[in-house]
Chains A and B, each alone.
Chain A
Amino acid sequence: MRNKQHHGGRGRFENNGGIELEDVEKVFTLRRRTGVLRRSREEVRAVDGISFTVAPGEMVGYIGPNGAGKSTTIKMLTGILAPSGGRLRVAGIDPARERIRLAHHIGVVYGQRTTLWWDLPLRDSYTLVRRLYRVPARRFHRNLDRCVELLDLGALMDTPVRQLSLGQRVRGDIAAALLHDPAILYLDEPTIGLDAVSKVKVRGFLQDINAEHNTTVLLTTHDLTDIEQLCRRVMVIDHGRLVYDGTLDGLHTLGESERTLIVDFERVLPPVTVPGARTVKTDGPRQWLAIPADASAAPVVAAVAAHHPLVDLSIREPDVEDVIAAMYARLPRG
């Protein structure tokens, strides 16, 4: 299905969907007026020496607090920002030097921006995307039909983008990013502000695309549920440095992070005691139970349900910030 193009490049992955970074840096110079004639220069090291490799077909989470350097990394990976130092290869291509050639191999989705045309119906936006990437008619229609079906866009095709809800727009954007069969997909906070239904649809779709086309996915997010359901591997970036690269469970273990089980009982009960959990808060018939994030919630849920009159129950994943803060507490920065 993928349009394999052959070209040179000395990256390890040559022309397939791999990503390589070696000591990549991005320094922004801010010039500020401090007086009538005086200006001060201030350097922001947005990305401060990052190295990693993503193999073709991998789905990797890229997380970190606000301002950590995630979006800057993605901009360098698309070629719209040149690194201040280090070396990048995406599908064997040096992004900043061959931005336009790389564009055919990658798809990009920004949760807070749209690549669609504000005044045009979705359908017309897709026609433009098709012309932009010169997708052959048959392939275009096959890909579009699939996206429309799985992302539930059928009823929206004639709606101008400005009239779509955020969740609908992001789904529309994801479809637009995949019509040309990119080997690599970057998603910069795609689920931010999405309703629960859209989130589930988006995650399911990404899983399918990855399974079917072996698309490499690099995903930044604030929602650890995205990572948990999509990525076996997670990288944590903070102050422009990679501070963790491993499994999500490993991160939880390292951060001693906890998930929260929110339980509604039929009536007000004293704090329940269940093995493997501790009650951290009660409010009327509602209680909050903390369980280690790397342990399964199932036995705890079963134990609570077996001994108490349960009405409702939900699980909250730990916040990225909390996990990272906890990780630091254990692992002094060096």
Chain B
Amino acid sequence: MLPGVMRLYVAVAVSTFRRYTAYRAATAAGVFTNIVFGFIVAYAYMALWHERPNLGGYGREQALTFVWISQALAAAMALLGGGFQEELQERIRTGEIAIDLSRPVDMQLWWLACDLGRAVFHLLSRGVVPLAVGALAFRLALPQSPLMWLAFLLSALLGAVVSFALRYLVALSSFWLLDGAGVNMVNGLLTMFFSGMLLPLTVFPGAFGETARLLPWAAVLQTPADVLLGRHHGSGLGRALLFQAGWVLVLLSAGRAMQLRATQRTVVQGG
């Protein structure tokens, strides 16, 4: 038997999962888009890796695998928008947040459970299908060992939590900003670039590359992809997971601090 608190968050995650199952047409359109983009980017990478073999330490097969993992994780990690933050921002803007505040529940964990429910749905729908199509159409460097897949799932889970924690900070900024559009746009751009969605972060040389690989966005996509590609093993795998867990800790704590300020502010000032 799960303790009461866990059951609540499991119920929240399950209900969000089910909410998403209701939007079948949107899901199908999303899967289609991920596949189309997968092909476009795959051919672009093939041209690039033809000119510069071993770019970023990836062989051709690994580069193609990276493309399809990016497409498979794009929706789950909300790399191109989507997810809970727009809903939360809207609730803050309209004052519906008052209803959330009058519930006996921790807001951050509540939304984390929501977002993980969604992420699991998107991994199963918009993740599995594009990756399978990619694997049929190209020769990919996918691992044989179930343990590697398990490590990848763990890394993807940590990545999903990092992604959530970043977007929670963005969403909470709505308590202070009248219009969240600007912050959302900046966050969208940073995420797209620094997650590795455009190009693997390993291709960037020098101090810029070093820095990019240490930022939290790297923990969202680059790290899980490299885990699946087998680029981290032994203690390296441990370090990669620790890198993600570190960002989870830092960002969730920052979210808690911000949440405390935000609720104190609303409780005292109204709004």
Contact = CB atoms under 8 A, between A and B. Distances in A.
B11 A113 contact: no
A245 interface: no
A64 interface: no
Interface stretch (A98-106, A258-266, A302-310): A98-106
Nearest to B97: A80
Secondary structure type dominating chain A contacts: mixed
A80 B22 contact: no
A328 interface: no
Contacts of A117: 15, 19
B99 A110 contact: yes
A285 B101 CA distance: 55
Interface in B88-118: 96, 98-99, 101-105
B12 interface: yes
Nearest to B101: A80
Contacts of B18: 120, 124
Contacts of A26: 270
Interface residues of B, number: 22
A53 interface: no
A220 interface: no
A2 interface: no
A29 B267 contact: no
B19 A120 contact: yes
A81 B269 CA distance: 7
Nearest to A115: B99
B8 A131 contact: yes
B102 A133 contact: no
A127 B101 CA distance: 19
B139 interface: no
B122 to A, nearest CB: 16
B8 A103 contact: no
A96 interface: yes
A228 B55 CA distance: 79
B211 to A, nearest CB: 38
Contacts of B96: 113
B98 A80 contact: yes
Interface in A88-131: 96, 99-101, 103-104, 108, 110, 113-115, 117, 119-120, 124, 127-128, 131
Given A81-B267, A82-B268, A119 B102 contact: no
Contacts of B15: 117, 120, 124, 127-128
Secondary structure type dominating chain B contacts: helix
B103 to A, nearest CB: 6
Nearest to B9: A131
Contacts of B261: none
A96 B11 CA distance: 28
A113 B91 CA distance: 11
A78 interface: yes
Given A78-B102, A82-B267, A108-B102, A132 B19 contact: no
B7 interface: yes
B206 to A, nearest CB: 44
Interface residues of A, number: 32
A127 B12 CA distance: 9
Interface in A123-146: 124, 127-128, 131-134
Contacts of A80: 98, 101-102, 266-267
Given A28-B269, A113-B99, A104 B104 contact: yes
A116 B176 CA distance: 26
A132 B103 contact: yes
Nearest to B98: A80
A75 interface: yes
Contacts of B19: 117, 119-120
B182 interface: no
Contacts of B101: 80, 99
Contact of A81 (B8, B12, B105, B270): B270
Contacts of A160: 22
Contact of A132 (B22, B104, B266, B269): B104
B234 interface: no
Given A81-B267, A120-B19, A132 B102 contact: no
B205 interface: no
Contacts of A78: 102
A104 B103 CA distance: 8
Specify which of A101, A117, A119 lies most central, judged by the most chain B CB atoms within 10 Å of its CB.
A119
Give the 5 A-B residue pairs with the shortest CB-CB distance, closest first: A103-B104, A131-B8, A131-B11, A119-B19, A80-B101
Interface of B: 4, 7-8, 11-12, 15, 18-19, 22, 96, 98-99, 101-105, 266-270
23 contacts: A72-B270, A75-B270, A80-B98, A80-B101, A81-B266, A81-B267, A82-B267, A96-B267, A99-B101, A100-B104, A104-B104, A113-B96, A115-B99, A117-B19, A120-B15, A124-B18, A131-B4, A131-B7, A131-B8, A132-B8, A133-B104, A134-B4, A134-B8
